[in-house]
Amino acid sequence: MNLRIALAIGNLIPALVLGLGCYALPLRWWGMDVPVTVVVVAVLASSAVALWNERLASRALRLAALSLLMLGLALVAAFGLSVAFLAGIHGAFGTFGRLLMVLVLFLLAPYTVVYPAFQLWLLGRAASAKPVSPAPAAGPSAAQASVETSASGAPS
């Protein structure tokens, strides 16, 4: 299977996990709903572009991985701060809340931090393995122009 197809289909898993995780909660808060929705839409759109346009696949997959990684790092920081807050304010009474936050953190991190980092690593290796061919010149090269000039006697 082609790497771009595997990563584009693989992006459906974090999009599904984030979408269901966000909208399965009974409480709505725009501070979480908007970024998660934007990232889910960006990941799905990038995956669609990667599936249908091979030329733009690398950029689209990189965009999806970067958006997932940014959201993941922000969520890990928010959950880490929440755990620290619960431990400092509530002491022994906040144990269940701390355990719940740590559980959510460990369930969320593989999809939003580890997977996009691995995806960026794979895309970087694939990009460095491809030989880059120089772009063709728009007009005649200097060597061709000098040959034409010497053959005809006058510049063309």
Q: 26-35, 111-120, 139-148: which range is least confident on average?
A: 139-148
- Determine, yes or no, domain membership for 141: no
Q: Is 154 within the bounds of a domain?
A: no
pLDDT, tens digit, 9 for 90 and up, residues 41-85 = 999 999 999 999 999 999 999 999 999 999 999 988 988 888 888
For residue 22, give both structure tokens.
């966000």
The yes-or-no verdict on residue 27 having pLDDT over 70 is yes
pLDDT at 29: 84
Flag whether pLDDT at 32 surpasses 90.
no
Residue 143 resides in a domain:
no
Q: Cβ(38)–Cβ(18) under 8 Å?
A: no
Per the structure, the count of domains in the chain is: 1
| Pairwise CA distance, residues 10 & 76, whole Å | 21
Residue 155 lies in a domain: no
Using pLDDT thresholds of 50, 70 and 90, give the confidence band for residue 128: confident
- Confidence check: pLDDT of 97 > 80: no
Is there a domain that residue 138 lies in?
no
145 is a domain residue: no
Q: Which structural domain range is residue 63 located in? A: 3-130
Residues 6+ away with beta carbon under 8 Å from 51: 4, 5, 8, 9, 57
Residue 147 in domain? no
For the segment 77-103, the average pLDDT, to the nearest whole number, is 80
Residue 14, pLDDT > 60, answer yes
Question: CA 66 → CA 49, 57, 60, 104, 153, distances in Å?
Answer: 16, 14, 10, 21, 58
pLDDT of residue 70: 95
Q: Is residue 39 a part of any domain in this protein?
A: yes
The residue written with tokens 């771009």 in the block is 4
Q: Say yes or no to pLDDT of 131 above 70.
A: no
pLDDT of residue 132: 58
Rounded distance between C-alpha atoms, residue 1 and residue 41, angstroms: 25
- When comparing pLDDT for 29 and 136, which is higher? 29
CB 65 within 8 A of CB 119: yes
